Structure 1
Amino acid sequence: MVYRYRLETYTETRTSAWQFEPYNGQMVDGPQYGMSPPPWDIPVSLPQMYSVKVEKIRVPHSSFVKVCHKCQGCGRTRCASCFGRGMKRCTFCHGHGRARNKRCTSCHGRGRKRCLRCRGDGYKTCSVCHGAQNLLHFIQLTVTWKNNISDFIPDRQPDFPDKKFEKVSGDPFFIDENVLVYPIQGFPDQEICDVSTKLIHEHLYRFTSTSRILQQRQTIELVPLTHAFYSYSGKDYSFFVYGMENKVFTSKYPTTCTIL
């Protein structure tokens, strides 16, 4: 058995940025309806604790309409493939109208073919406003809920890679949960106490400057780990059985087709 200490810090982060969409006559919630509230004053529904979620919200009273910056309000832009001509040089006869001393069958002797990108029009619907000519600009608030996890397992088995523990579960016998948890004291393994103090301070320093801490949880688990030894063809080998799932790990099999 090995101890695994885990600290979880559930945070909420809010960032805002300007966004736009084609304006097709929808309502414009602009400054005439009031001042835009600060990011942390906008009400949102809190998801289930420790779940990961991203929600995008349009900030009230931040919208306004502006002419599309790409097409300058035309709704169309010049085709980049034919440069607005509507025709392109025939690639079969290279624009000569003839190939192998015969009339080109691809362009019918014209040396040019209709541009497939714009269908011969020379212009395409604006990719930004989609032909609406105007854009609705607004501030978009992005709210991110994230569970930040830090694990620690004392390195008592140098032959066993600690990363294997990440995909298995253990038996939690100590659970401490609060808005902010305090470092563990008096645990028989002093290394767990020291790591608890270190990680709690690290999480506070890392997350309080950019996010809001909603909840913290620290646990100590007993993760099964058994080191088994055996002999095969006169040679000694070993393997590990770990986790509540009884997964098996060995650094070297006797043969590639052996099933333990």
Structure 2
Amino acid sequence: MRSRPQWARQDGFGIRVEWGRAGAAALGPGAGCLVVIDVLSFTTSVSVATAAGTAVFPYRWRDDSARAFAAAKAAELAVGRREGGPWSLSPAAIRRAPFTERLVLPSPNGSTIAAAVEGTPVVAACLRNVSAVADWLLAQRWGTPDRPIAIIAAGEHWPGTDIVRPALEDWLGAGALAAALIDRGLATPSPEAAIAATAFDGTADVGALVADCASGRELAAIGFAEDVAIAIELDSDSTVPVLANGAFADRRPG
């Protein structure tokens, strides 16, 4: 990823929030850690899979190269939700699928961001594991202006384009993590992080809002309302999926 202008980096703040691949390019270099949030559904799928003991390899494309990549990693390959395989970008499907030690999970949003960042630790967060991730980040002593936590809301793409659609569920996920970090004593959020935290704290029913937002309605319309239901189970996982050697694995203490 190419770096972005100095003004875009939210310098001087310990918690920073941005959108998509361009935001990761802006905030990733020099960050203590980069946290990817793709609630519907990449990082939720990662949380569910790693909770079961599966190592998850992020991959950008779902094509012949993905099959070759999975073969090289001796891993199963997740397919599209409607392709009928046991593993897909569906948290519900992953929960029902046979256990596998290694899984390649293609995604044009969250997976792409995670796979493209170099030189910065990467964590996958969602509503299911936000408190566990916040605790772990603080234990690493990240979240200072010199070692900031860069929270990246993945967003979606408008159909048939490379244009990012800011997605409400990811904004609330980013806000949930920013709020959790602030509640734990980190006192230097950027304006972007502060507003995201305020949005989360000011939402009376996050689950209902996610279910009724554009992305939630899209999944329900194609028969995957269960994926939304799993994604909105706040703090139901204690997983901390950290990317190492090309795969996310649970790094929670103990």
TM-score (normalised: structure 1): 0.20
Which protein is richer in helix relative to its size?
Answer: 2
Larger CA Rg, structure 1 vs 2:
1
Which protein is richer in strand relative to its size?
Answer: 1
TM-score (normalised: structure 2): 0.21
